[in-house]
Amino acid sequence: MNIRNSLIAVAVAATLMTAAVARADEGPAPEQRMQRAFEQLGLSDAQRTQLRSLSESHRAATEPLREQMRTAQQTLANTKPDDPNYAAVTAEARRNLDAARAQMRDQQEQFRSQTQAVLTPEQRNALEARRAERRERMEERRGRMGEMGGGAGERRGPRQGGRQGRQR
């Protein structure tokens, strides 16, 4: 292995380790969730190959959108209200964020329809049942968080910097 390949391997390993540490509290990594879903749905090897390929293509297609959203969010977070160009800068960042979100939704819908096309009707039904269970568990967790006095997604007034929570 030459030096360039070694550096790439180290960079990939560091990225994966960082992602694993960051996701430690979020449950299994996407690859583990995908593998578990493959097993539970009883996918054939051909289906697994197709779905992995679709997933990799989707990830590559959405990475620029994720970066665009991160950049817009950072701009919104870092622009101070006393900046003379505050209104213009934040309006542009919001437009960029909204455009990236719309494109991301389109990509998600396209990915979902492509993956659904790979599955048999029985597998689609099983997948939908898994999704419903996951939504139910998420709602239960949200309910428990609300009972404890707050949680993700709940705003209690102005955010740092004096700006209000996002309007939806």
Q: Is residue 69 domain-resident? A: yes
CATH number reported for the structural domain that contains residue 99 in this entry = 1.20.120
* 15 occurs within a structural domain: no
Say if 54 falls within a structural domain.
Answer: yes
Please check whether residue 110 lies inside any domain of the structure.
yes
Closest to 55 in 3D by CA, of 12, 118, 105: 118
How many separate domains does the chain show? 1
Of the two residues 151 and 56, the one the predictor is more confident about is 56
141 within domain boundaries: no
Average pLDDT, integer, range 43-65 = 92
pLDDT 10s digits, 77-101: 999 999 999 999 999 999 999 999 9
Task: Report if residue 10 sits inside a domain.
Answer: no
Tell which wins on pLDDT, 147 or 60: 60
Q: How confident is the model at residue 161, as a pLDDT?
A: 45
CA–CA separation, 145 and 140 (whole Å) = 9
- Crossing angle, helix 45-78 and helix 30-41, to 10 degrees? 150
Q: How far is residue 100 CA from its own chain's centroid?
A: 13
pLDDT of 14 above 70: no
What's residue 95's pLDDT? 96
Rg (CA), the chain: 20
State yes or no: pLDDT of 108 exceeds 70.
yes
- Whether 29 maps to a domain, the answer reads no
Residues with Cβ within 8 Å of 159's Cβ and at least 6 positions away in sequence, in order, are 165
- Check: pTM over 0.85? Answer yes or no: no
Q: Which domain holds residue 108?
A: 44-133
Residue 82 lies in a domain: yes
